[in-house]
Structures are given as C-alpha cells and as structure tokens.
Amino acid sequence: MQVTGTPKRTYWLEHAWLGDGVDQGVERGVALDVHDGRITAVRTGVTVPPPGAVSLRGLTLPGLANAHSHAFHRALRGTAQTGTGGAGTPESFWAWRDVMYAVADRLTPERYLALARAVYAEMALAGITAVGEFHYVHHAPGGTPYADPNAMGEALIEAAAEAGIRITLLDTCYLSAGFGQPPDARQARFSDGTAEAWAERCALLKERDHARIGAAVHSVRAVPADQLVTVARWAEERRAPLHVHLSEQPAENDACLRAHGRTPARLLADHGVLGPRTTGVHNTHLTEEDIALLGGSGTGTCMCPTTERDLADGIGPAAALQRAGSPLSLGSDSHAVIDLFEEARAMELNERLRTRVRGHWTAAALLRAATADGHAALGWDDAGTLAPGARADFTTVALDSVRTAGAPPRLGAETAVFAATAADVRHTVVGGRHIVRDGQHQLVPDVPQALARAVEALRG
C-alpha cells in the first residue's frame, strides 16, 4: 500500500471527534488538509465544504486500531457454536482450540493471502485502519519450513496492502505444547525449535510503508522460561512492540504455578518481558500483585471482550489495570465479530455487570483505547488522532441510521460507542487514500463473496 506521494486533498467533515480521551471534543464543520499520507492542517468552523473537498457526512473519528487479530480464526465464525462438548458436557476453550487447530492445518500461503485479504477488507469496512496480527502459523504442516521461511508472514503483509490497511506483524514465538512439553503434531508448524531460530527467521522480515514488524510470546506455556529473554531482547534491540497472551485461562495460571511457583505475570517480569512497549492480551485472571506489576511497568492491556465472552474466558480487571498504569487497547482476536465499537462498549458493559455500577469509562476514553492507544500498542505512535502531522487515517460513522438517529451530534462520541456498529461505517481513509467510500470497499469489490470463497477453501 503506497501512501507517500499521494496528492494534496481536503476532506470536509460534517462532524469530527477531536477529543483526547478526556474532553468530548465533537466539532461541527472541520476541514482536514492531507498531503503525502499525513494531515497537514485541521481547520474548524468550516460550515460548508470548500471547493473540491471530499465531503464525509456523519461523525469522523481517527482510524480504529485492532490491536489483536488471528486472521485465520475468521473461518471459525458460526462453525464453532455447537452448544456442548458432547453427552451434555459444556464445551470449553480447550475444545474450541481443537477446532481451531483443524483450520490452521489447512492453511497454505496462497489460502492465507486470500482469507486475510478478505478479513482485512472486512476490518476496513468496520473503520479499522491498522491491525496487529498475532501470527504463529509459520511453516508447512509437519513443521517443514517453506522455501521462503516467512512465506506465511509475507502473505499477511501483502493481504493488508491489498485490503488497504496498515499491519503490525507480531511474529510469534511458539515452542512448546505446555510447560516442559514439546509441540504436538498439530503445533509443529508453529515452532521454530528454539527462540534463537525464531529470532533468525524474524530478522529476515522487512518493514514497509504500511507494515511494521513486532514480536510476540504466544504464552508462558508455549515459550520455555529460559527462552523468554531471547524474544524480549529481540524486540528491545529493535524498539519493536512485544505482545503476549497472558492469564487468559485459570488452567494456564495453575500450570505455571506448578512449574515455576509463580504467576505468569511474575514469570514474565522476572525474565524482562514486561515494559512500556509490551502489551498483555486478555490479562483476565490476575492477582493484585499481577495488576501492580503490569501497571507499574507500563505494560499495556489489550482487551478482546467479544472473544473473551465467546470462549467463556471471564471478565478481566480492565478498570483496575488502567488505574494501576496499564494503557488499554482493544482487539477482535478470534473475530467472532469484527466491530471495535462493540469491543469498546463491551468493556464498559462487562464492568457494569461485574460491579453493578455504571460509568467506568467515558465514551471519549473508550474511543481513545480504540484509536490512539491501540495504534501506540502496535508501534504506530503517529496515528490515531485527527491532528496536524498525524497519519491521515480516519473513519466516518453515520449519524442517521436506525441505530444512531435521534441523538444530538454533540453526543456523537456516546452515539458511536454505545449505539453504532460496524455496519454504520460509511467511509474509511488510510494515508489519505479513500479505501471505503459510501460503505463500499474500493479495492476488494465484493467482500462477502471474497470471505465465502476463502473460508470454503479451508473446509475439510
């Protein structure tokens, strides 16, 4: 996706959210001047579109950042809702994982390109301008590397380019099936054997205008403790984002305590993994000490409420983590739905259910998690705001749909977070380039059909 060298252009925004996560900041009549993929000026009080400007009716927000994605999980939507695990036994996360492994086994670089392109196009239709792809399907089935050892990662980078969005490829180290256990046959294609071999392969990946390269520890059960430092050092040397699945399931916590006598968060802290460029994904089952460790180190938290409820993970202590100093971001993870508005409101509504108290976050604070803080978690610190010098990535939500009609525009932030869905996105602009126009993707003509074909190709 080439965004440098794009022509000068002015976008006129009927309404724009210019807030910083504290102030509401909805302005009527805003002109954004854009050149070379960046916002060069923000002019308020522009009551009518300037000559030649592109008009965006509705509420324009900074582009949304999907900080946690497994693109191939999109193929499971609707197919992993079988009710019970058999004989009346409730289904668990671990049973769902078996279905996921079967899909992963049928991926090839070509199939993954087709699927991820369609998934990322669906994200663009939902107002998402950047994705953090937590990528661990590295090799061919059985574990044999492809001729290009990064063929799968390159497919994801190309898919993002063809769908018109930015990507941070969080190349994931995945070495074991559990504490002291080698990867099983289903996990063989995830593993490089050692963290050193993982680092050597990752070093071959190159950043592009639309793509950043980050690192990930799949989980403390999947990377032996003595190899965590290798992954952390690789990210530190490159000042790259580092993400990790953390305390998603109580069973993982219990196994970690048995193996190491400490919680996963403490284990990561003791091996240099935590810090301000690190994001823990889920952070669901934490002790008070864990929360203090994460907050005190500036480690971020990526909440994925629609997946966490779909997999019956539980409700994480997001409010306590933020109070402790952990910045919040949002992800759609397994893509039960792709809708960052739903993720944002679910975080607040989950906390209401847990505490029976309303109003833990303002709409503006939730939008900040979905925009600026999400981009920062992915290494795009210059995106996620409508301000001069920022990347020209933004999205427009209709204020006249059956979901959003009626509220005054000054409450646009509240309307977006607590009423809108991805279906209300009308425009998405990335690097000044109009990727979604009037609800239609400009690069992938028929996204539903592209998704259907790509998912069908993965059916056994």
Strands 128-135 and 425-430, how do they pair? unpaired
C-alpha separations of 410 from 24, 27, 100 in Å: 8, 8, 43
Element (H, E) at 56: strand 54-62
216 DSSP β-pair partners: 172, 243
H runs (alpha helix) in 226-339: 228-238, 250-260, 264-270, 288-297, 305-310, 318-324
Say how many Å lie between the first and final Cα of the chain, rounded: 33
Q: For residues 133 and 115, what is the distance between their CA atoms, to the nearest angstrom?
A: 13
C-alpha separations of 202 from 170, 227, 279, 383, 397 in Å: 10, 15, 19, 25, 38
Q: For residues 377 and 240, what is the distance between their CA atoms, to the nearest angstrom?
A: 10
Nearest-CA neighbor of 339 among 420, 422, 418? 422
Q: How far is CA 25 from the centre of its chain?
A: 25
Collect all residues with Cβ–Cβ distance below 8 Å to 294 and sequence separation of at least 6. 265, 274, 280, 283, 286, 301, 321, 324, 325, 326
Is 10 in contact with 52 (CB distance < 8 Å)? Answer: yes
Nearest-CA neighbor of 246 among 274, 281, 294, 216? 281
Collect all residues with Cβ–Cβ distance below 8 Å to 387 and sequence separation of at least 6. 18, 39, 42
Which residues are part of the catalytic machinery? 282, 333
- Buried-exposed string 44-73: b where 16+ CB fall within 10 A, e elsewhere: eebeebeeebbebbbbbbbbbbbbbbbbbb
